[in-house]
């Protein structure tokens, strides 16, 4: 957790510096309070996943660029183990393994997400054109799409517009694990820091 706090602080400072943004401007662009942004930069806060997404959206970058900005495969074949990269990056009851962080030439980021029992989060829409893919690999969960919670079991696969309101929850006693592929449209926006 401490390493992640340090990485988030470095990423946020770098993004602000590159754009010449003050904390006030960053708060306006991201919708995250100036106080919270300052705490993240001073490594005093472990933000929620919703806060990380707001920061990413405000800077027009992928979420994985905040947590793994230096990931560069530079190779055709890349091996990653979810056991080696899985963390609990925020105070949320979710584990995240960034299996393939965003790389501009591919236009997506690929996660293994674990929803611990009782977890629920509704997500604000991503930028226009973002598409998410969800494939359940163990347990049971529900996905909020088109205004309805849809039950999903092992093997269920869903593609949906990530630029609309959506959510994830696990109302069961066992963790639910799923793969989440987030595809970004090809635009003038930078997805990596």
Task: Give the pLDDT confidence score for residue 72 in this predicted structure.
Answer: 64
**From CA 123, how far away is CA 53, in angstroms rounded?**
9
CA Rg value for the chain: 16
pLDDT in tens, 5-52: 888 899 999 999 999 999 999 999 999 999 999 999 999 887 888 888
pLDDT in tens, 168-192: 999 999 999 999 999 998 754 444 4
Positions of E strands within 18-140: 86-87, 94-100, 108-115, 120-123, 131-138
**From CA 54, how far away is CA 98, in angstroms rounded?**
18
Q: Identify the band that residue 70 occupies on the pLDDT scale cut at 50, 70 and 90.
A: low
Task: Give the pLDDT confidence score for residue 174 in this predicted structure.
Answer: 96
Cβ contact 80:48 at 8 Å: no
Checking DSSP bridges between strand 86-87 and strand 141-145, what pairing results, if any? unpaired
pLDDT in tens, 116-173: 999 999 988 888 999 999 999 999 999 999 999 999 999 999 999 999 999 999 999 9
Task: Give the pLDDT confidence score for residue 4 in this predicted structure.
Answer: 76
Question: Does the structure show a pLDDT above 80 at 68?
Answer: no
Task: Give the pLDDT confidence score for residue 41 in this predicted structure.
Answer: 93
Task: Give the pLDDT confidence score for residue 159 in this predicted structure.
Answer: 98
The correct answer on CATH 3.30.420.10 for the domain covering 82-183 is no
Q: Which fold has domain 2-67?
A: 434 Repressor (Amino-terminal Domain) (1.10.260)
Question: Does the structure show a pLDDT above 80 at 1?
Answer: no
Structure tokens at 103: 């790389």
pLDDT in tens, 54-65: 898 899 888 888
Q: Identify the band that residue 74 occupies on the pLDDT scale cut at 50, 70 and 90.
A: low
Task: Give the pLDDT confidence score for residue 193 in this predicted structure.
Answer: 43
Cβ contact 34:23 at 8 Å: yes
Boundaries of every domain in the chain: 2-67, 82-183
**From CA 187, how far away is CA 17, in angstroms rounded?**
22
């Amino acid at each position: 957790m401490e390493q992640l706090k340090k990485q988030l602080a470095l990423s946020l400072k770098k993004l602000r510096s590159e754009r010449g943004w003050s904390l006030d401007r960053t708060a306006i662009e991201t919708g995250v309070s100036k106080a919270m942004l300052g705490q993240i930069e001073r490594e005093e806060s472990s933000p929620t996943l919703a806060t990380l997404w707001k920061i990413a959206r405000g800077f027009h970058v992928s979420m994985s660029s905040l947590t793994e900005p230096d990931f560069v495969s530079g190779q055709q074949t890349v091996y990653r183990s979810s056991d080696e990269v899985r963390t609990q990056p925020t105070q949320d009851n979710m584990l995240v393994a960034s299996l393939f962080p965003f790389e501009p030439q591919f236009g997506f980021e690929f996660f293994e997400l674990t929803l611990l029992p009782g977890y629920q989060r509704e997500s604000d829409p991503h930028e226009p054109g973002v598409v998410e893919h969800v494939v359940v690999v163990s347990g049971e969960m529900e996905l909020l799409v088109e205004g309805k919670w849809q039950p999903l079991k092992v093997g269920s696969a869903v593609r949906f517009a990530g630029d609309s309101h959506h959510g994830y929850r696990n109302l069961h006693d066992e963790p639910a694990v799923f793969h989440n592929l987030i595809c970004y449209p090809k635009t003038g926006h930078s997805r990596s820091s």
